[in-house]
Amino acid sequence: MKTTIKEIGKHVEQSVTIGGWLANKRSSGKIAFLQLRDGTGFIQGVVVKAEVGEETFKLAKELTQESSVYVTGIVRADDRAPSGFELTVTGIELIHEAVDYPITPKEHGTEFLMDHRHLWLRSKRQHAIMRIRNEIIRATYEFFNEQGFVKVDPPILTGSSAEGTTNLFHTKYFDEDAYLSQSGQLYMEAAAMALGKVFSFGPTFRAEKSKTRRHLIEFWMIEPEMAFMDHEESLQVQENYVSSIIQSVLKNCEQELKALERDTAKLEAIKAPFPRISYDDAISFLQEKGYEIEWGEDFGAPHETAIAEAHDKPVFITNYPKDIKAFYMKPHPERDDVVLCADLIAPEGYGEIIGGSQRIDDAELLKERYDEHNLSEDAYGWYLDLRRYGSVPHSGFGLGLERTVAWISGTEHVRETIPFPRLLNRLYP
């Protein structure tokens, strides 16, 4: 019967057929070991000449890397195998021969692999990362559906910008100027006024000329927005959400984490609540550590890493100066120089995975911010309406999917956490 590698454990000592590709192989004299993959996992097929005969053994010996095949065999339980099973091959049917597959089992440079991303995706490591990405996405929908959030899809083509105008992708919308969305937030606030608790999940775009291991030009963001929730209540949603996806990955991606040699002990300990440190205290901490940083400056990667290293869980840095944060953030009730916001900094040097805040809910104050930031009512009048008609306290945040995948999977660079990364000077494939 036809099955998949993921399901093969249900057929021990039975004859099955899998469709897949040859990932690698080794052979000696009268026995060949085929490393097979079928998209659901990897398994070894053992081909014994005396059992399969001359013709099938010759086919096995001549199979080339990434040729597609149907392989039939008896499923054997084998504790030594990563999947716990092995296939004693009884038959092979070649579907299509791959000639000179470029990504051979030897080491390859990053640019070579990036130029062949459409093929590199097939490797065991990329397979593991993509399955962890999938689990984080699945667990995200599970968490927010269980919490009573409604999925709402903000537009990708917009006439406004939430995160400033320095990294917008301009495009034409017929005769009008338009931008690719940097963040769905402003629209999510409108949705929250209609549906209470909402979340989006989609691509966002930042024309940032940053060449770091944390920056993509196109990345995916989960953006929950919650009417009647204040800043601290939003932090509780964030820490519960992040804890939940970590537990889901630990539970459902054991083989993938093992394939990536991820130290899961560091993840198992991560449960809500997460520590909070104010921006003020973070500045003092860094200055005591000898960092040259003054109050009012934003943190760079080394600062975030130093702050994260002082904690064994993700840490919220709260209440940044108003002047280094976005126009929509609500001022602190006791201070007008800082705002009710927080960045969540992941451990192990993975940096900021969440940016969030309580939003201004007063029309006059928001109008003042429009004037300060030169925002036109033509483009932002609708956003002001949310404060003119039944305004309420509300908060929200954005979690960067790729940075979160990088952290949980222990992957150095975000380029491996998205199927087709868009980086500075990288639009291919």
Ligand X SMILES: NC(=O)C[C@H]([NH3+])C(=O)NS(=O)(=O)OC[C@H]1O[C@@H](n2cnc3c(N)ncnc32)[C@H](O)[C@@H]1O
**Where in 238-297 is the site for Mg ion (CB under 5 A)?**
none
Which range touches ligand X (CB under 6 A), out of 76-84, 152-160, 208-216, 373-381?
Answer: 208-216
Task: Look at residue 162 and give its three-state secondary structure.
Answer: coil
Assign 404 to helix, strand or coil: helix
- Residue 403 contacts which entry, Mg ion, ligand X, none (Cβ below 5-8 A, type-dependent): ligand X
Which does residue 221 touch among Mg ion, ligand X, none (CB within 5 to 8 A, set by kind)? ligand X
Min dist. Cβ of residue 399 to ligand X (A): 6
**Total number of residues binding ligand X (CB under 6 A)?**
23
Q: Which stretch binds Mg ion (CB under 5 A): 80-88, 102-110, 279-287, 350-358?
A: 350-358
Q: Is 355 in the site for Mg ion (CB under 5 A)?
A: yes
Residue 215 near which of ligand X, Mg ion, none (CB within 5-8 Å, type-dependent):
ligand X
CB of 293 to ligand X, least distance (A): 19
Contact between 352 and ligand X by CB under 6 A: the answer reads yes
206 binds, among ligand X, Mg ion, none (CB under 5 to 8 A by kind): ligand X
C-beta closer to ligand X: residue 101 or 382: 382
User: In this complex, which beta carbon is closest to ligand X, that of residue 9 or of residue 302?
Assistant: 302
Q: Count of CB atoms within 10 A of residue 29's CB?
A: 6
Number of residues that bind Mg ion (CB under 5 A): 1
Q: Fill in the DSSP letter of residue 2.
A: B
Closer residue to Mg ion, CB minimum distance, 65 or 357? 357
Query: How far apart (Å, rounded) are the C-alpha atoms in residues 84 and 81?
Result: 5
Lookup result for tokens 């291919």: 428
Single out the residue of 25, 31, 59 nearest to residue 44, CA to CA: 25
Residues 175-194 that bind ligand X (CB under 6 A): 183, 185
Contact status, residue 184 vs residue 154, Cβ threshold 8 Å: yes
Cβ 219 to ligand X, closest distance in Å?
A: 4
User: CA 55 to CA 383: how far, in whole Å?
Assistant: 71
Instruction: Say whether residue 321 binds Mg ion (CB under 5 A).
Output: no
**Cα 143 from Cα 246, distance rounded (Å):** 12
Q: Where are the alpha helices (DSSP H) in 147-217?
A: 185-195
- Looking at the Cβ atoms of 66 and 304, the one nearer to Mg ion is 304
Residues 375-414 that bind ligand X (CB under 6 A): 396-398, 400, 402-403, 414
Tell me which amino acid residue 184 is.
G
Which listed residue (66, 86, 223, 239) binds ligand X by CB under 6 A?
223
- Strand 170-173's sheet: what is its strand order? 157-158, 176-180, 170-173
Alpha helices in 270-422 (DSSP H): 279-288, 301-309, 363-372, 377-388, 401-409
Please provide the size of the chain in residues. 429
Residue in 372, 359, 128, 425 with CA at minimum distance from that of residue 225: 359
Residue 387's Cβ-side half-sphere holds a number of Cα atoms within 13 Å equal to 18
* CA–CA dist 36, 65 (Å, integer): 10
In the complex, the smallest distance separating the C-beta of residue 360 from ligand X, rounded to whole angstroms, is: 13
Contact residues toward Mg ion (CB under 5 A) are 355
Contact residues toward ligand X (CB under 6 A) are 162-163, 183, 185, 206, 208, 215-216, 219, 221, 223, 352-356, 396-398, 400, 402-403, 414
